[in-house]
Amino acid sequence: AVMEHPGKLWKIRARHTVLATGALERPLLFQNNDLPGVMLLSAAERFAGQYGVSAGRRIVVAGLDIAERAAALAGLGLNVVATVDYDTSSIIRAKGRAVLRAVEIETPAGRETIACDALLMSGGWTPNVHLLRHAEGKIRFDDAAQTFVPTGDVPDLTCIGGCAGRNPIDDGAAVVTDGVRPPEDHPRGLGYVVHRDANPRKVWVDFHNDVRLSDIRTAADEGFRSVEHLKRYTTLGMATDQGRTSNVNAILTLGDYLGKPPQSIGTTRFRPPFKPVRLGAFAGRNTGELLQPLRRTIWHDEAVGNGAILADYAGWHRAVCFPKSGETEADAVQREALAVREGVGLFDASPLGKIEVWGPDAATFLDRIYAGTMSTLKTGRVRYGLMMSEQGAIFDDGVCARLEDDLFLVGTTSGNAARVLDHLEEWHQREWPDLRVSIVPVTEQWATLSINGPRARDLLERLRPGADISAKALRHMQAVETTLGELPARILRVSFTGELCFEVSVPAVEGAGLWRAAMTAGEGLGVLPFGVESLMVMRIEKGFAHIGSETDGDTLPDDLGYGRMVANKKSDCVGRRSTERVNARRPDRRQMVGLEPLDARQAIAVGANVLSVDGKRTRGWVSSAAHSPVLERSVALAMIEGGRALTGETITLYHDGGRIEARVCAPCALDPDGERLRG
Residue 217's pLDDT is 94
The pLDDT value given to residue 5: 52
249's enclosing H/E stretch is: helix 247-258
Instruction: With CA atoms as reference, report the closest residue to 452 among 344, 319, 342, 335.
Output: 344
In which element (H, E) is residue 253 found? helix 247-258
DSSP letter for 605, please.
P
Q: Which of 673, 531, 656 is nearest to 605 (CA)?
A: 656
- Which pLDDT belongs to residue 610? 96
Residue ranges of alpha helices (H) inside 87-237 are: 130-134, 213-221, 227-234
pTM over 0.95: no
User: Shortest CA distance to 299 belongs to which of 529, 512, 519?
Assistant: 512
Query: What is d(CA 396, CA 401) in angstroms, rounded to the nearest whole number?
Result: 16
Q: What is the mean pLDDT of each run of 10 residues along the chain (679 residues)?
A: 56 87 92 96 93 95 93 95 95 95 96 97 91 88 89 85 80 40 61 86 92 93 90 87 87 90 86 71 62 84 94 92 96 98 97 97 98 96 97 96 98 95 96 97 96 98 97 97 95 97 96 94 95 98 96 96 94 95 94 97 96 90 98 97 96 95 97 93
Q: How many helices and strands (H and E) does the chain possess?
A: 16, 38
Cα 536 to Cα 413, 448, 454, 528, 675, distances in angstroms: 14, 18, 18, 17, 20
Predicted local confidence at residue 100, as pLDDT: 97
Residue 561 falls in which region: left (phi positive, over 0), alpha (psi -120 to 50) or beta: left
Q: Which of 296, 321, 299 is nearest to 533 (CA)?
A: 321
Q: What amino acid is encoded at 296 in this protein?
A: R
**5-28 b/e (C-beta count within 10 Å ≥ 16 → b):** eeeebeeeeeeebebebebbbbbb
β-sheet with 345-348: strand ranges across: 479-484, 487-492, 501-507, 446-452, 345-348, 528-529
